[in-house]
Amino acid sequence: MYTIPSSIYEKAAQNLCDQVGSSSYFSGTIAFTHEDIECRMVLSLIIYHKRIEMPEGRVEMIEDLVPVWWEFHTEIGGEEILNDFDFAILKEYII
């Protein structure tokens, strides 16, 4: 079993935030490469945002993610390897 390092969680969180934007729902696939590992996350989720008023203007941030369905796949050398991905840990990098 492949243990997911923090660097993959960081990359997955950044890619997800880029895809989600200000949407309140997301359903799709996010794929990226980390070193020699092909990663693919298939998910549907509800996104809750909060608006923060700042002197520079209004900022919208993700307040919570509620997964409807998710899968995280890791592939090394063309072979899929089981992993210990945890959606709760991913949320820590976003919220």
pLDDT, position 68: 96
Contacts of 49 (CB under 8 A, 6+ apart): 22, 24, 60, 61, 62, 63
* pTM of the model as a whole: 0.88
Place 5 in a pLDDT band, splitting at 50, 70 and 90: very high
Domain count, the chain: 1
pLDDT, position 59: 76
pLDDT tens readout for residues 14-56 = 999 999 888 999 999 999 999 999 999 999 999 999 888 878 8
In a domain, 1, yes or no: no
In a domain, 19, yes or no: yes
Domain that holds residue 81: 6-92
